Structure 1
Amino acid sequence: MKKFIETLKNIWSITELRNRILFTVFILAVFRFGSFVVLPGVNPEALAAAASQRGANDILGLINAFTGGAFNNAAVFALGIMPYITASIIIQLLGFAVPYFQRLQQKEGESGRKKINQITRFLTVLITLVQGGGYLLMIKSTPGAVDATLNPSIFWFSNLIILSTGTVFAMWLGEKITDRGIGNGISLLIMAGIIATLPRAFFAELQTQLNQTSIIVFILELVVLFIVVLASVLIVQGVRKIPIQFAKRMVGRSSGNIPVSGARDYIPLKVNAAGVMPIIFAQAIMFLPGSIAGFFSEEAANTGLLLQLQNWKSLPYNIIFFFLVVIFTYVYTALLVNPQQYAEYLKRQNAFIPGIKPGKSTQDFIDNLTTRVTLPGSIFLGLISIFPALVGGFGVNDAFAIFFGGTSLLIMVGVVLDTLQQVESHLLMRKYDGLVKSGRLKGRSGMQPIGTNM
């Protein structure tokens, strides 16, 4: 405890780090304040009543969790930063398929990144207009949610502008945190929204367990959550190091050259290179049965396999969800990790993997090793994705169960590790002890932060 207090004092004594932390806290407070400013002409109580009848893990519940309750509050930040995340994912996928975006990302350096950021911002506005229209349509269809005396044209036009402005402002707040604060701003805004729903879910589960069973069951739940978080940290930090060696070089004059052994280094292959993206893609696929059910009669939609695929706790849903996550992990890792680029880079640097011939043999070796390393990572992501359903089946309430896995847990773990790594860097630069007694936080250099472009 004394060591921890001393570390906090060291953090506070570094003026730049203290200012960055205070600035980040201030921006997060502004973001949370906007989550309670309600759109004009909207009754949030009616929306909350309608939301209470939905599951906590459906698509609307997931969006509400990411926005910290702003979605159900009909706030100016109701869409949060999600349109920007969608735009970033689209641009990133285009970078794998469209030569123009590949050139911007890989060959044009800083100017290319600026162009990509500008395109992402414009695409964010377009997506916000589309999603904002759908959100207002949902509000309009909710009984008692809209003031009947308000002119419909004014309601649509004004609130669509406010929602778009709110998303652009949230995007600007995230960029300011990245520039002047600590950590990745977009990721921190998402984490702030997720954590904002944690206290209510925590105390609701505590009250439920005290009323139904005992405090022992609740303590066991916390122990399980702690173990899952530790496992998530291990998988996020885990790397497979491929040793490489640079060729020998000659030192001295031509008449007496002395051969010097080449330096040794390694290529880090992330166990979970795909991050949370496979779960997001698989979750999007699993929302399709609910959309398809809308085209059938109520009797047909509520029978058979279609009904089970709309229940996130059912066995068929979780089996399909698990395998989709595993498949998408391999697909997304294949897009991110390019063995051919690794082999070409090693050849240009006059380096090689010991025991492996340069060129095609090196490419095949990295490809095979990536495939093997991805297997445990994909299985872990699959288990993490269905773990909320497992704990929910044991009586944990839905709102608290989502923190036992899925995108919520992985985002929180990844963002916290990334932020702590930056704090650690500031401490070590000024010759203070780091946040851990032995070793150092590895950060996530091989894992792209949310909302950034490669």
Structure 2
Amino acid sequence: MKKFIATLKNIWSIEELRSKILFTLLLIFIYRVGTHIVLPGIDPTRLQQLGASASGGILGLIDTFAGGAFSQASIFALGIMPYISASIFMQLMTVLVPQFQKMQKEGESGRKKINQWTRYLTVGVTLVQASAYVAYLRQITSQSQAIIPGYADYFWLSTVIVLTAGTLFVMWLGEKITDKGLGNGTSLIIMVGILARLPQSFLQEFTNKSVRTGQILIFIIELAILFAIIMGCIMLVQGTRKIPVNYAKQIVGNRQFGGARQFLPIKVNSAGVMPIIFAQAVLFLPTLFNFTGTATGQGIASVFTDHSNVWYMVIYAVVVIGFTFLYTALIFNPKQIADNLKQNNGFIPGVKPGQPTADYIGQVMDRITLPGALLLALVGILPGIAQRLGVTHGFSTFFGGTSLLIMVGVILDTLQQIETQLLMRQYDGLMKSGRIQGRQTVTQASY
């Protein structure tokens, strides 16, 4: 405990680190205030009585990322989701389109061009999603008249403008946190939105268990299992397979360069949280059968809206595994890694440079991707398993899935940056043994 207090004092004594923390907290506070400001033309009292919620599929994912602002009809209802969608699209373009690959290799200037295209695309995506959100609000508020009648004629135009401005403002907050604050701004905003639901979900689960005799012990067991799952997710996020790499010695004048032995870290879960997001998006499509009006269509939709359904979990796990292999193949290029090693006089012991090196790295990647995909699929279906075992829906979402993986990854990244600041000034790190390894130490797909 004394060492922990001493570490906090060291963190606070570093002026640069202190200013970054305070700046980050200020912008996060502004974001959280905005999530409680209701859109113009909406009666918040009637909306609250309606109990509008989005608990499944893409709508549930948006509401999770927006910290509940989606279901509250807030000015930040779409949150950072349009920017994430645009970023994912541009990331895929840098892999599939040669022009974008060339732009990415231009260095800082290329990165600025890609960021600018991402912002333009964010505006377009937001306009489409805002129009769809207006239709969604009109559908759920048609009977309760939560939309003020005198404002109905202007509701579509004002809501699209406000939601677009709100998303761009949240995107700006994320960029400012990244530039002048602590950690990745976009990731922190998502994590704060997820954590905002934790106290209410925790209290709901505790209340649900406390009213029954002997259920408090079960609640304590649930917390212990949750802690173990978090530890397992940390291992999944940080797990790497290190391939030894040697660099040939070079003598220039009287000095010797190279000759060092290093490692090429290959992540067990290179795809990150992307397969889970893609799987949720794909499995949302069958729910559209609900609008067919047929008994068969409604039966199909009921399976894919119930995350605790056995068939849903089986299909979901298979889709996650498939997307893990697909996304890993898109973002991981063994040929490029082999060429970079060859250009820098590096080689893997016992493997010839060039194509044999690329084949070897590809084989290693294929071997570790399978257990990584299986573990990722297990993490994805853990909320459904927890719900089947009696955990409330809100609290079960923290037992796995997108929420837990994002929280673990973002917290590790933020702690790594704090530890780097401490070690730069010759303070002790946050851990006695070893250093905290976040996702920034190796290639990682952004979300």
Q: Measured at CA, do residues 216 and 55 of structure 1 come closer, stay the same or move farther in structure 2, by a change above 3 Å?
A: farther
2:312 counterpart SS class: helix
Does the CA-based 8 Å contact 1:87-1:123 persist in structure 2?
yes
User: Deviation at 1:365?
Assistant: 0.3
What is the CA–CA distance in structure 1 between the aligned matches of 2:54 and 2:90, rounded to whole Å? Answer: 31
User: Deviation at 1:4?
Assistant: 0.4
Does the CA-based 8 Å contact 1:275-1:447 persist in structure 2?
no
Deviations 1:296-331 (Å, cap 9, x if unpaired)?
21533333x553233211111110100111111111
What is the CA–CA distance in structure 1 between the aligned matches of 2:331 and 2:445, rounded to whole Å? Answer: 14
Quote the residue 1:285 is aligned against.
282
Deviations 1:104-146 (Å, cap 9, x if unpaired)?
12x2111111111111111111111111111111111223254
Letter of the 1:271 partner, please give it: V
User: Deviation at 1:94?
Assistant: 1.4
User: Deviation at 1:185?
Assistant: 0.2
Q: Measured at CA, do residues 147 and 330 of structure 1 come closer, stay the same or move farther in structure 2, by a change above 3 Å?
A: closer
Letter of the 2:58 partner, please give it: I
Structural RMSD (CA): 1.8
Which residue of 375, 378, 381 maps to 2:376? 381
Quote the residue 2:191 is aligned against.
191
Letter of the 1:104 partner, please give it: M
Quote the residue 1:407 is aligned against.
402
Q: Measured at CA, do residues 49 and 60 of structure 1 come closer, stay the same or move farther in structure 2, by a change above 3 Å?
A: farther
2:264 counterpart SS class: strand
What is the CA–CA distance in structure 1 between the aligned matches of 2:191 and 2:70, rounded to whole Å? Answer: 15
Quote the residue 2:358 is aligned against.
363
What is the CA–CA distance in structure 1 between the aligned matches of 2:181 and 2:251, rounded to whole Å? Answer: 46
Which residue of 429, 435, 440 maps to 2:435? 440
1:72 counterpart SS class: coil
Quote the residue 2:107 is aligned against.
109
Quote the residue 1:246 is aligned against.
247
Quote the residue 2:273 is aligned against.
276
Quote the residue 2:77 is aligned against.
78
What is the CA–CA distance in structure 2 between the aligned matches of 1:31 and 1:392, rounded to whole Å? Answer: 31
What is the CA–CA distance in structure 2 between the aligned matches of 1:149 and 1:249, rounded to whole Å? Answer: 79
Quote the residue 1:56 is aligned against.
55
What is the CA–CA distance in structure 1 between the aligned matches of 2:235 and 2:389, rounded to whole Å? Answer: 26
What is the CA–CA distance in structure 2 between the aligned matches of 1:302 and 1:46, rounded to whole Å? Answer: 29
Letter of the 1:113 partner, please give it: R
Quote the residue 1:13 is aligned against.
13
- Unpaired segments of 5 or more residues in structure 1? none
User: Deviation at 1:175?
Assistant: 0.5
Q: Measured at CA, do residues 30 and 363 of structure 1 come closer, stay the same or move farther in structure 2, by a change above 3 Å?
A: same
User: Deviation at 1:157?
Assistant: 1.3
Which residue of 431, 436, 440 maps to 2:426? 431
Letter of the 2:177 partner, please give it: I
Letter of the 2:238 partner, please give it: Q
Does the CA-based 8 Å contact 2:191-2:407 persist in structure 1?
yes
Taking structure 2 as the reference length, the TM-score comes to: 0.95
Deviations 1:162-210 (Å, cap 9, x if unpaired)?
1111000000000000011000000000001000011000000000011
Quote the residue 1:157 is aligned against.
157
Does the CA-based 8 Å contact 2:54-2:71 persist in structure 1?
no
Does the CA-based 8 Å contact 2:286-2:304 persist in structure 1?
yes
**Do residues 179 (structure 1) and 179 (structure 2) align?**
yes
1:70 counterpart SS class: coil
Does the CA-based 8 Å contact 1:44-1:72 persist in structure 2?
no
**Do residues 220 (structure 1) and 221 (structure 2) align?**
yes
User: Deviation at 1:261?
Assistant: 7.8
Taking structure 1 as the reference length, the TM-score comes to: 0.94
Quote the residue 2:330 is aligned against.
335
**Do residues 4 (structure 1) and 4 (structure 2) align?**
yes
Which residue of 128, 131, 138 maps to 2:129? 131
Q: How many pairs align? A: 443
User: Deviation at 1:56?
Assistant: 3.0
Does the CA-based 8 Å contact 1:186-1:450 persist in structure 2?
no
- Unpaired segments of 5 or more residues in structure 2? none
Does the CA-based 8 Å contact 2:44-2:146 persist in structure 1?
no
Q: Measured at CA, do residues 50 and 13 of structure 1 come closer, stay the same or move farther in structure 2, by a change above 3 Å?
A: same
